[in-house]
Amino acid sequence: MRLVLVGPPGAGKGTQAAVLSEKLGVPHISTGDLFRANIGNSTPLGQKAKSYMDAGELVPDEVTNEMVRDRLSDEDAAQGFLLDGYPRNTSQAEVLTGILGEKHLELTAVVQFDVPEEELVKRMLARGRSDDTEDVIRRRLAVYHEETEPILGYYQDKVIKIDALGSIEEITGRALEALRSHQ
Ligand code: AMP
């Protein structure tokens, strides 16, 4: 199964991605986690990404696309994957289509997590990550609406929309059920 999870920051994508990856037996590939690991290890990639992340802006596409291309070429991603936080704009979506197309593959589905905006800010402030200050949160939400939401139009009939309010188990259940009926 080759999945992309899409949703605004604070929608619980990361949590769901971890659970779903375990249940579906495919690796969880989070571009945010990959960037944070690079920052933690002070790699050149991490140095490039840090200022963008601190400001709530997208890391430039060239840097992000190369990192994803590399990660998808790892052996564990050959049988499927769950992408969390990528693609984040239409141009990244087109690159992903190209990467998969080279292997004659396409995505199984795009899972969209739907959460009301007031709830998102509340959840992010509670999370306390270094890029979770109020100004940066607002910027990340604006970037989501302006740049990421249009990918839902790009993917059209691959999109499965999930109500992401409720307990972790409830939301996982909805996602698994929707994936079953989508196939
Ligand atoms: P996340 O952990 O998905 O919330 O991502 C944290 C931050 O990492 C984002 O605010 C961006 O600065 C950066 N980032 C993660 N994924 C991408 C991506 N696909 N394209 C550009 N920047 C990204």
10 in ligand 1 pocket by Cβ < 6 Å?
Answer: no
140 in ligand 1 pocket by Cβ < 6 Å?
Answer: yes
Q: How many Cβ atoms from other residues are within 10 Å of residue 37's Cβ?
A: 13
What ranges do the domains of the chain cover?
2-27+81-182
Instruction: Give per-residue pLDDT as tens, 6-60.
Output: 999 989 999 999 999 999 999 999 999 999 999 999 999 999 999 999 999 999 9
Q: Is the pLDDT of residue 129 over 90?
A: no
Helices in 25-167 by DSSP H: which ranges? 31-40, 44-55, 61-72, 90-102, 117-127, 134-143, 150-155
Instruction: Give per-residue pLDDT as tens, 68-107.
Output: 999 999 999 999 999 999 999 999 999 999 999 999 999 9
Tell which one of 13, 15, 31 to mutate to probe ligand 1, the residue whose CB is within 8 A of the most ligand atoms.
31
Ligand 1, closest atom to CA 88?
19
127 is in an annotated binding site: yes
Q: How confident is the model at residue 1 (pLDDT cuts 50, 70, 90)?
A: very high
What's residue 117's pLDDT? Answer: 87
* Distance set, CA 38 to CA 77, 163, 173 (Å): 20, 32, 33
* Distance set, CA 2 to CA 12, 30, 52, 164 (Å): 19, 14, 28, 20
Q: 181, 143, 144: which is closest to 160 by C-alpha?
A: 181
Tell me the three state secondary structure of residue 132.
Answer: coil
35 in ligand 1 pocket by Cβ < 6 Å?
Answer: yes
Q: Is the pLDDT of residue 122 over 90?
A: no
Q: Which amino acid is at 35?
A: F
59 in ligand 1 pocket by Cβ < 6 Å?
Answer: yes
Q: Is the pLDDT of residue 130 over 90?
A: no
pTM of the model: 0.94
Q: Is domain 2-27+81-182 annotated with CATH 3.40.1000.10?
A: no
